[in-house]
Amino acid sequence: DRRTLLAEVPTGIWLSNTSVPAKSGKTFPVIDPATGDVLVEVADGGVDDAMAAVAEAAEAGPKWAATPARERAEILRAAFEEVQRRSDDFALLMTLEMGKILPESVGEVNYGAEFLRWFSEEAVRVGGRTTTAPAGNGEILVIKQPIGPSYAITPWNFPLAMGTRKIGPALAAGCPMIVKPAEDTPLTMLLLAKVFADVGLPPGVLTVVPTGTGSAAQSAAVMADRRVRKVSFTGSTGVGSLLIKQSADQVLSTSMELGGNAPFIVFDDADLDKAIEGAMAAKMRNGGEACTAANRFFVQNGIRPAFTAALTERLSTMTVGPGYDDTSELGPLINAKQLDRVAGLVDEAIEAGATVQTGGTRLDGPGFFYPPTLLTDVPAHCRIRDEEIFGPVVVIVGFDTEDEAVAAANDTDYGLASYFYTNDLNRTKRVAARLEYGMVGVNRGVISDPAAPFGGVKHSGLGVEGGVTGIEEYLDTKYIALTPH
């Protein structure tokens, strides 16, 4: 149960495969967003704790890089199996610290663990290439080598999967990894680190340095250290852009999974029931707190009344409550700040003349709950039509022509996920090609797959995670020129 679990989860800085207090002795609270209560106190890592992690990574790095790929793969595979075996613990822990409903936490355990399996399989497939120089004067031999000690900064919305999506390829490639988990959800990452130690990962290869308010100081110090070669970040575009600037001094390799502003387009010829199912998944999964979440609904005017009515019906009958209650279909938002932000966006739209089809007012009582909400007639200038909502709020805007829909969908600085529903094959190919997004879901509301490349264009990021290219982010290319004699 939760008491035994919380007693077992490491709450210190994870160094040398053990949990130690912060050098300062300080801690910060981890909050249950369903109640506002403190779950547990976690060590508040300072710059000196982070430097200890960097030193460990630098020391462990060469040996880990020289470890046969098969051995690294077996450790990742064992971690995959151990995470699956402890699925109930990981799921409950995520629901406790992040708030999502338990079935979704179980889904994330599967998804998150899958990156460990996927990259255990990729670890042994790292290869180079040899070609004959066109001039005939030698051979071009290309090999791949681990990039070196890497630093991951992860968000709170997927506390496990955003970690494994970075740790999996780093470890597979032969790179040690230092992780700074989000301050709202450090526990899942600490339990994952313990699992890695349990299955035999050598000390120093994976370290975790949680911090309450010290993220900026930590990242500045770690990224300024010459021993670190890579930073991988998932989070907001604002912080990502700051980290890219910060990475310049040491010319660090960066992978950036940043914000999204996903369009969800429904054409008149779409299957209405399927579009509603897809909309529910694309918007409501994770309470809307996903960078891939549908953020702007563009619905063709023929199907719009039926779509709006059906989605309103679905949203208005959802049960809102703590993620660990069996009856809950939507959990709380992560914290008071996000609740205020989402409520503020909706209030502003209503003031500007939006029509509330359902929801639209905060719920009483403890915890950070916001009801499923659907707005129509939102004026174009409202912030809610441009900003990443990160909550259970749908805004529906009508359109007449395909050109109009594509133009509206592309009219944003972001370019992560996009979705559209149609039964016309020619339109499918046209629209998929024209959407300026890294990922396009056609007639489906969930697209993430460990075997597929995940990444965005424009302000949504740099690089891809997962798929066959995910491991490349942790590899350097070396060219060896050979001349026969």
Q: What residues are labeled active site?
A: 257
List for the chain the helix, strand, coil content (%; round to 5): 40, 20, 40
Cα(260)–Cα(135) distance, rounded to whole angstroms? 47
Task: Select the span of 68-76, 149-157, 402-410, 466-474 touching ligand ADP (CB under 6 A).
Answer: 149-157
Label the pairing between strands 475-482 and 139-146.
Answer: antiparallel
Nearest distance from C-beta of residue 409 to ligand ADP, angstroms: 23
Q: State the alpha helices, DSSP H only, in 67-101.
A: 69-85, 87-98
- Pick 122 or 388: Cβ nearer ligand ADP: 388
Per DSSP, the residues of 23-71 read TT--EEEEE-TTT--EEEEEE---HHHHHHHHHHHHHHHHHHHHS-HHH
Rule CB under 6 A: is residue 224 a binding residue for ligand ADP? no
Of 182, 162, 156, 152, residue with least CA distance to 254:
152
Of 311, 301, 293, residue with least CA distance to 418:
293
Rule CB under 6 A: is residue 215 a binding residue for ligand ADP? yes
- Binding characters for ligand ADP, 364-403, by CB under 6 A (x = yes): ----------------------------------------
Q: Of residues 43, 113, 182, 294, which one binds ligand ADP by CB under 6 A?
A: 182
Q: State the alpha helices, DSSP H only, in 355-478.
A: 402-410, 425-434
Q: Of residues 108, 183, 402, 473, which one binds ligand ADP by CB under 6 A?
A: 183
- CB 217 within 8 Å of CB 24: no
Question: What's the order of all strands across the beta sheet hosting 13-15?
Answer: 18-20, 13-15, 206-208, 177-180, 150-153, 230-234, 253-257, 461-462
- Binding characters for ligand ADP, 423-442, by CB under 6 A (x = yes): --------------------
Rule CB under 6 A: is residue 185 a binding residue for ligand ADP? no
Q: Of residues 153, 178, 311, 333, which one binds ligand ADP by CB under 6 A?
A: 153
Handedness of CA 455, 85, 11, 41 (dihedral sign): positive
Rule CB under 6 A: is residue 415 a binding residue for ligand ADP? no
Rule CB under 6 A: is residue 155 a binding residue for ligand ADP? yes
Nearest distance from C-beta of residue 234 to ligand ADP, angstroms: 7
Rule CB under 6 A: is residue 287 a binding residue for ligand ADP? no
Rule CB under 6 A: is residue 154 a binding residue for ligand ADP? yes
Rule CB under 6 A: is residue 216 a binding residue for ligand ADP? yes
Cα(170)–Cα(146) distance, rounded to whole angstroms? 8
Q: Of residues 6, 40, 242, 432, which one binds ligand ADP by CB under 6 A?
A: 242
Nearest distance from C-beta of residue 239 to ligand ADP, angstroms: 4
Of 80, 259, 165, residue with least CA distance to 466:
165
- Pick 123 or 177: Cβ nearer ligand ADP: 177
Nearest distance from C-beta of residue 215 to ligand ADP, angstroms: 4
Task: Select the span of 68-76, 214-222, 262-270, 474-482 touching ligand ADP (CB under 6 A).
Answer: 214-222
Rule CB under 6 A: is residue 232 a binding residue for ligand ADP? no
Rule CB under 6 A: is residue 223 a binding residue for ligand ADP? no
Cα(469)–Cα(212) distance, rounded to whole angstroms? 33
**CA torsion, ordered 333, 336, 337, 340, to nearest 10 deg:** 80
Label the pairing between strands 373-376 and 439-442.
Answer: unpaired
How many of the chain's residues bind ligand ADP (CB under 6 A)? 13
Q: Of residues 239, 280, 293, 343, which one binds ligand ADP by CB under 6 A?
A: 239
Neighbours of 133 (CB within 10 A): 12
Q: Which residues bind ligand ADP (CB under 6 A)?
A: 153-155, 180, 182-183, 215-216, 219, 235-236, 239, 242
